[in-house]
Every structure is written in C-alpha cells, then in structure tokens.
Chains A and B, each alone.
Chain A
Amino acid sequence: MVDMLVRTGAVVAPEQPARRRRRGFERATRGLVRWRIVQYVVLTLGAVVMVLPFAYMVGTALSPERWVMPYPPTIWPDNATLDNFVRAINEAGLARYALNSLIVAVVAVVLTLIVSSLSAFAFARLEFPLKEVIFGFYLVTMMIPDLIALLPKFQVLRDLGLTNSWWGLWAVYVSNAVAFNTFLLRGFFSRIPRELEDATRIDGGGTWTFFLRVLLPLSKPALATVAVFAFLGAWDDFWWARLLIQDPDLRTLPIGIQLFFNSHATQWTTVFAATTLAALPEIAIFVALQRYFVNGAFSAGVRG
C-alpha cells in the first residue's frame, strides 16, 4: 500500500525552469491518472475480499437441500431456492429465537439509555462529593475486558438468582455499558451551553426539567449512537446468553444458531440461511444509521 504512494509522488517544485516545469506537470498528471487507477483497483479488490465471504454465505443459503460442497466452489447456485430459509424458521425454531433476541435487545437499549444518560448528566452538569474519584474509577473499569470476569460474574449472577432469566442478561449488558457511555455522553452533555440551563431556571424549571426537556432532546445524535451500539451488543451477545439461559423458551438467536449448528453439523445450507437472517437486522441498522457508526466507531473498538 505504502509502496504505491511512493510511485505516485510526481509533484514538482514551482521554482524550476519553465520547460522542466511543464514536463514535470505532464509527469505529474500522468502520475495522478495512474494513481487514480491504482486507487480504484486496490479499493475494489479490497471490497471484493470484504464481501466475498458474505456472498458465499448467501449463495449457500440459497442452494437446494441435497447439497454437497460444489466442485469447483461456486457462489451462486444453479437452481436457487428459499427452502432453507423456510426450514431454518420452522425446524430450527428461528422465529421464536429472533423474537426473543428482539425483546432482549430493545429492553437493553431502553435500560442502557436511561441509566447512561442519568449517569452522564451527573458527571457533566452536577457537583457532588467524590465526583472526580468515581469518574476516574469508571475510566479504570473501562480498561478491564468484560470476558476476563466471565466466570466470577457467572457465580455472582447465580448468587443473585439471575441465571435463566433475561434480567441477568440486562444486568450484564447495562452494567458493562455504564462507564463507557458515561464517558461518551458526558462530553456531549457538557458542550450544551450554560445559558440554556440558566434560561430553564429563570422559567422556574429545576434540574429535572432541564435534563428531560432541554438537554435530552438536544442530545439525540449522541443518544442514537449509544442506542445503536447497545442494540447490536445485545443482539450479538453469545457468551452471556449461552451461560445464563437454559430454558429453551428464553433462548436468543445466537444460541439457537449454535445449537442448530451443533446438531446438524455442517449442514451448511440451513445454517447459512439462519445466519443470513440473523445478519440482516445488523446490516439494515448499519445501512440506515451509517453516520452514527462513524461517531460510534470509537466506542465499538473499546467494547471489542
């Protein structure tokens, strides 16, 4: 990649004699055209590499039932069919799992938004004892990856009777997000002008009026970022759902897919019909809310 940048560098310093400058200019233009071509070729190749695995997934999901690994491997099947999707929904019980995942994720979003915005407001706009200490402490907990405490957290959730219930999942999802979201939203909340707060007070409103009527409506983009990542975090979660949920009626989509995979090992057509359906909401949310992903890219990384 870097190597190509070297080869494109043909811009000439202005103090050269006219003829050399013109030759330099032609060279520069040619260089630019070549650079353009390289740019598109490399980007397109990269995009193909990014998309090809998905193409294989969808193509296999559309293949007829009696399927063996085609030789040579083709992406698009000759006689495409939606049978596998029907089978995934009926036999693998995907519809139920998807509904469960949706409920779990939506409630997780609501709870995360409530707890995180309250917390961030306190650190952005209020004074209270130990404020700096608690905030520093949140920054430290942000550095500890969630999964290293998988086992003791499982024990704690057992102690509290939160296994085999969605409350256990919500407890984990929301508590994991508090520190980071406090950090993220605090920055946004503290940029909202002081004058608005003063104006609220002059109109006779208190802290809550300002928080609910003024600050939150102005913070929609930041809250949307938090919501998108809370949703995807809950929708994607594999480990906590796997550890905590035993009741088949409470299983979420990732667990349903894994169980199906384990019982029908390498029946790729139906497995990929299931994963395609599971990936659709993720991709739809991403396409619809792309701009929040750019804001939130920083948070996605922190959450691993």
Chain B
Amino acid sequence: MVTLTPSVRPLPATRRRSRRMRQLATAAPFVLPGLILVLVFVVWPLIRGIQMSLYDWNLPAPSRSEFIGLDNFVRAFTQDPTFWVAVRNTFLYAIVTVPIQIVLGLGAAVLLNGRIRGRTIYRALFYLPVVTSWLIVSYVFAFLFSDGDGPVNYFFVNIVHILPEPVPWLHETWPAQVPIMVLGIWKGVGWNMVIFLAALQSIPHELNEAAVLDGANAWQRFTRVTLPLLKPTFQFVSVVLIVGAFNVFISVYLLTGGGPEKSTEVLLSYMYNQAFTNLDFGYGVTVGLILGATVMVFGFLQRRITRGAVD
C-alpha cells in the first residue's frame, strides 16, 4: 500500500496574505468602478427607500420629515381603496398580456421557423415595435384609440360593425384597459418571437425526423417533441414578461394618466402620482417598495419552483 502524501503544503499565513493582497491590487481597478456605482446608485437608494417609507417625507427639506413608523404601510393595506385598484389593474395587465404575448410570439416563431421566403423582413417588421420607445408608441396608440372618429372606432363601428357606436376608449375605466393592454401585447410579441425562434432553431432536426418515422403527425410532433424542449424558454420568457408587466407605467401615464378618477392607475403610476401630484413622497416610496417586494418574492418563488421541476 502506498500512501500519498500531499505534495502541496498550504502556504504559510504571511505568504497567503501577501498573495491575496496582490490579487486585490490587480482586481480592484476592474471591480471597483462597477461595484461603487451599484452600491451608491442601486443599493443605497433601496436602503434610503426603506428609511423614507417610515416617514411623512419632506422632499425639499428631508431633515424636517416626520417619523410615522409603519403608517404608510398600514394606510396602503387597510385604508386606501385606490391602492387596491392599482394592484388589481397591475395584476390584470399581467394576467392578460403575458399569456397572449407568449402564444402569439410562439405562433409567429413556429410560422417563421422552416423554409420561408422573406423571413428576415417578417422578423424585422415584428420586431419594429420592440425597438421603438414607449413614449412614441403610447402617443400613436392614444391617436389610434381617439374618441369619436378615431381609426379604431371607425374600424369597429363602420367597417366590421362589431360596436354599435364609438367608444371613448381613454376616458372610461374598463374600455381604457383595452388600449393599454393591446399596446403592451403589440409591443411585446416581436421579442417573444425572436426568443422562441432562437429556441426552435436550436432543436436538432433528427428529433423531428425520428418522430416522423415513428408515425407522429405535425400536431403530435409539436406537442410531444417541440413543446417539452421549449420548457426552459417558457420559464425564462414568463419570468421576464411578468416582471415587465409589473413595470407597466409609461403607457398608462400617457394614455389615461391613471384616470378617470384614478380607476386605471397601476402601481408605478400610482407611486408617481402620489409623489408628484399629491406631494406625498413617503407614501409613493412605500407603494414602490411594496411592488419591489412583490417582484422579488415572485422571482424567488419562480426560481424555487423551476429548480424543483428540474430535479
């Protein structure tokens, strides 16, 4: 029996320390610029936000803010019906826009996958709304959904005769959900398409050919071969889309401003309006924190569930 003695003995403590110092000296100029920026402008605002949420915050003179403990949170959860309207609208937006975007994006990707003329052009046209800024497309949708003789009203009233009369899309609670959600879907489909197309093209041909030999028809191949292989893509896409849906803001702000009577507020527009219209800065901060916590909890849950499913 041969016993192997470790040939590398641990370095003496002083030499180990000097090596670590050298490592630090080499790495510091690379790591520190980014790390300092993240600490000052990402982490510190979160800590500051937790502090601010405990005050009746005075923006012009922060030192004169009044400490009110958890009153802002109590107010949000128990005394403020509009907060719950914003929660409802935000969740509704996520529930409607996320699955529709996924289905349409996957559908477009399936249609584009395979031999097809002009694929680059189709892909570019579908992606156009994704690269255009929210500000621009929000104004365009405000125009399309104008009251009275706006293009959307004209189409549904005078051409396809689905609506008996023009709808004041941007000025009533429930109709206003339509332009907001349609805009979100329209702007998001192209992104979904590109992600799913990339995933579809990474599926080896042999798998589909083998399934054909086994007598599987197109539908069976799609549901039994393709869809299971797309599972990681579905998970990635749904996390990104749900977080994105919770961030819906500029379209609501520009299309309805949260009105009429705050009935179309989502959490971020409500946060903003509390701070800059109501000048209730601390309460606005609190609404933002509650949304942030929701997104974080959701993200961790999703990761937990995903990991469980993979095991």
Contacts and interface: CB of A to CB of B under 8 A. Distances in A.
B292 A118 contact: no
B46 A119 contact: no
B228 interface: no
Interface residues of A, number: 99
B148 interface: yes
A119 B191 contact: no
B72 interface: no
A249 interface: no
Chain A at the B interface: SS class: helix
A60 interface: yes
A218 interface: no
Contacts of B34: 115-116, 118-119, 178, 182
B121 to A, nearest CB: 8
A238 B126 CA distance: 24
A178 B37 contact: yes
B77 interface: no
Contacts, number: 288
Contacts of B268: 147-148, 150
Contact of B140 (A176, A207, A275): A275
B228 to A, nearest CB: 15
A290 B125 CA distance: 12
A138 interface: yes
A1 B103 contact: yes
Interface string A1-29: 11001101111111100000000000000
B124 A287 contact: yes
B100 to A, nearest CB: 11
A47 B129 CA distance: 11
B111 A42 contact: yes
Contacts of A298: 195, 236
A278 B52 CA distance: 37
A50 B296 contact: no
Interface stretch (B7-15, B91-99, B244-252): B244-252
27 contacts: A9-B220, A40-B116, A53-B141, A56-B144, A57-B143, A71-B154, A73-B149, A115-B34, A118-B31, A126-B26, A127-B27, A128-B28, A143-B299, A147-B268, A149-B42, A152-B49, A156-B48, A158-B59, A175-B41, A179-B42, A254-B133, A258-B254, A272-B139, A275-B135, A275-B139, A278-B133, A283-B132
